A and B are shown apart, each in its own frame.
Chain A
Amino acid sequence: MNMIQAVNSAMDVMMARDDNVVVMGEDVGYFGGVFRATAGLQNKYGKQRVFDTPITECGIIGVAVGMGAYGLRPVPEIQFADYIYPALDQLVSEAARLRYRSAGEFTAPITVRSPFGGGIFGGQTHSQSPESIFAHVSGLKTVIPSTPYDAKGLLISAIEDNDPVLFFEPKRIYNGPFDGHWDGPSKNWSKHPGGEVPTGYYRIPLGKANTVREGQDVTILAYGTMVHVCQNVVKETGVDAEIVDLRSIVPVDIEAIEESVKKTGRCMIVHEATRTMGFGAELSALVQERCFYHLEAPVTRVTGFDTPYPHSLEWAYFPGPVRIGEALKNIMKDA
């Protein structure tokens, strides 16, 4: 399966298991979604459970919160993460706080799916990575898969989770892993072990990272598309790096991070999102606080620049093989 099919399969599995799971969003119903993630679901489960919505993100999330309060388990889609901002009030002030402010009387068991990230010439409003905005909000969980296998297992866990979950799908790797060489041939998931996806029910726990490459010299913390870019850079540079795919950024798997950095003594953080106040800053602070006496080099962040996401200069902006390679060289220079 590719990642779209895996996401589709997760919703299919959950809709079959639980009558309360409903899917809603712009173009998700009859048409099956602009990325085809909900293709076939309306036909299979009916319009009462899979339906198109008006173009109003605050309405989509507000309605989902109300449905959650009734007892449903809504899976709303925001067509692009770049368009989630009209729903911020409903997410931050309502979904995130409902359990807390009602002392558990009401909850918001909703899973907000949204394609995110760049690398597709999406320009300013089809490329953003807003995860740190949500990571800053207590009460929300934020999940970002890097393979079809993870996407399905994590999405099933997210839908079953009784807390509101932001599920960001890196659209650059919907159809295949991306090694960072934008001018190279595109790959599909069929030759990648992460593309092997069981058709039935399985879960990957939220809050647990996945060490995708074991190594001794430096720990790379990444998620989403950047996991694949990092894997390739490590292969090309020959640095014996340990790559930890965080999978969930809230709650983050602090044990996996600590264990790895204490072993390697170095830590590099890679994300597409802009640098200042990005999630890398939190990771860097955690590593510094917990692994200070094990660190042999300053914690390094390789990120998008503090600019809006550009169109024509995308590959100068995107943290690709060159920038990650230089950073790796730099963090290893005293080794």
Chain B
Amino acid sequence: PPTAESIVVPFGHVIGNEKWRGSEIAQKLQGKVRLVFEDGLGLVDFHLSNRTCILYISEADLVAGDEFKRRLVRFRNASSLGGIIIVERTQISDQYFLAVQKLVVLELGMVLLPVANQAEAAQLITQLVIFCISGEIVREQSKDHSSNPFLRKQCSQLADPAVFRTVQQIPGVGKTKALLLLQQFGSIHRLCNASVKELELVVGQAVAQQIHSF
């Protein structure tokens, strides 16, 4: 039986495990995302995209014992999908939260997001879907991640002011000497390899010695 396989998720859809039909999550998701139910999703509760899926741990799962842990480990071993674990953190299940977090995030290296109830879970899943979709549109169109503000941006800052500052960190070198040295040697690498004689032509004997031994 399929347990944690990748499935094809049509664009903008969420595929839910049949067991969630009629649940509060399903009701709150419908209207916000296109939710389709399927049988045989195995360990997975919701597929958000071809690569991202959700495993839901309820308050009851947490209280019932370690069965959910086996499910997580089986998923982790069987699947290359990015698994997001949503866990119900309530007054009753709070005592288990730290241990679950340690297992999921630190040991299994998966994502764990706590919610208080199914309504909160539906709101969270909606936002995750929006980011899945925008991520995929951007990936197809431009191979750039610019829609996500947290992703690395190519930094187009000029190196010149930084180089100027770096050279001023050499003991005995201030703005004036830094500029003279850079005018003469061009790069930090060439400055580092200048001989004392070459340095003496630009700065005084003492500073030349200081730079050379730095």
**Are A and B co-members of a single complex?**
no
